[in-house]
Amino acid sequence: MAGMFVQQPQEPILVTIIEEPVRETTVVDVLIGAIGLTGALLLAAVLLGAVFGGLFILYRQYSARRAPYDGRPGADVPHIT
């Protein structure tokens, strides 16, 4: 019975890890990414400028309508150019 508990020698298990090849980043990839980021920032700036410009014009028209006429020529007309 004592011989049943003796372990048999095992051969080592070898595992070979094969990594996927990494794609190189080229100058063209960097330029395309930079141009894309610049375009996104430019688009955001144009949209925000249009929104704030429209709000400013609406505010000026609203405040011009609420202000009492003070007798100056053109005082009741918002001068937006």
Q: Where are the domains of the chain?
A: 28-68
The residue among 21 and 56 whose pLDDT is bigger is 56
Q: Give the span between the Cα atoms of 68 and 61, in whole angstroms.
A: 13
Given a cut of 80, is residue 57 above it in pLDDT? yes
The residue among 3 and 57 whose pLDDT is bigger is 57
pLDDT at residue number 22: 84
- Answering whether pTM is above 0.85, one says no
The encoded tokens of residue 11 equal: 């051969």
Q: Does residue 68 contact residue 75 with C-beta atoms inside 8 Å?
A: no
